[in-house]
Each structure stands twice: as C-alpha cells, then as structure tokens.
C-alpha cells in the first residue's frame, strides 16, 4: 500500500465513489493520519491513485469488522513498514476477536436483563412500571 502510481489519477470524489464512502470520511482519515495526504497538482488539486483506493477499502473493511482506528493504525504501520508477519497480524486479530467476544457476552447479558424486565411489565396504561423501577434501582 505504498506510494506507487499506476498512471490513472483520481480526485477525492472518485475514490469516495469507488470505495463506497463519502468525501468527509476520506478527509477524516487523512486528518488522523491513516490515509496519506495525496500529492497535489501545480494548481493545488489533490491527486489520488489506485493505491489510495486500495488503502481506503482496507480501512473501511476493517471498520466494518469492528477494528478500532488505533487497531487499524497498528495494522497499517506493519504494512507500511513492510515488516508484517502473519504471526503479528494474527496476534492483533485475536486480540480484537477477544474484545468482540466480550462485547457479545455483554450484549447477551443486557438482552437477558431487558427481556426479564420487559416480561414483568403489564404494558397497561398505569403509572406502575417494572421497567422504570428496575432502571431506578
């Protein structure tokens, strides 16, 4: 994902379209440093290429899989240095997977509490409500 140019240059709107995101997303990723600032023409226009599209898709897919910005930054630093090993990537992925599993466990616990509380509620137009009582306790 380095800085090679394949010949065809693109503007920000074009890479946003090709990657399936909006231009503000690209601006944000450039601002926080996970998308490199593209070179500019003599007139000051940003010039993107296929490498930028590939990197943007990598970031977007990583976000879809729940990787945090910092986790992606770590993966991209390995890729940018060209020193990544499958073992390093696997270790980062397994850490992320453990976090995802912990979140799933939390969501299941929340689901059980909400289901139990909602099942105690009559749903009638009365002021007493087990859900509100559970939230207040």
pLDDT tens digits for range 101-123 = 999 999 999 999 889 888 888 87
What is the topology classification, in CATH, of domain 1-84? Multidrug-efflux Transporter Regulator; Chain: A; Domain 2 (1.10.1660)
Q: Full-prediction pTM beyond 0.85?
A: no
pLDDT at residue 1 above 90? Answer: no
pLDDT at 7: 55
**CA-to-CA separations, 23 to 44, 57, 90, 92, 99, in angstroms, rounded:** 17, 13, 31, 29, 30
Question: 19, 11, 72: which is closest to 43 by C-alpha?
Answer: 11
Please give the average per-residue pLDDT across 11-26, as a whole number. 95
Torsional class of 124: left (φ above 0), alpha (ψ -120 to 50), beta (otherwise): beta
What are the extents of the domains in the chain?
1-84, 88-137
Residue with the larger pLDDT of the pair 106 and 6: 106
pLDDT tens digits for range 40-80 = 989 888 999 999 999 999 999 999 999 999 999 999 998 99
pLDDT at 2: 43
The average confidence (pLDDT) of the chain is 89
């Amino acid at each position: 994902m380095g800085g090679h140019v394949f010949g065809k240059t693109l503007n920000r709107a074009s890479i946003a379209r090709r990657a399936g995101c909006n231009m503000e997303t690209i601006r944000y990723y450039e601002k926080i440093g996970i998308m490199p600032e593209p070179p500019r023409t003599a007139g000051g226009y940003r010039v993107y290429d296929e490498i930028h599209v590939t990197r943007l898709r990598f970031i977007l897919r990583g976000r879809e899989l729940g990787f945090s910005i910092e986790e992606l930054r770590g993966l991209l630093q390995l890729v940018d240095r060209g020193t990544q090993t499958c073992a390093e990537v696997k270790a980062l992925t397994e850490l992320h997977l453990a976090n995802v599993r912990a979140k799933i466990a939390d969501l299941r616990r929340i689901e059980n509490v909400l289901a139990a509380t909602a099942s105690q509620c009559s749903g009638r137009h009365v002021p007493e409500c087990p859900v509100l009582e559970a939230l207040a306790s």
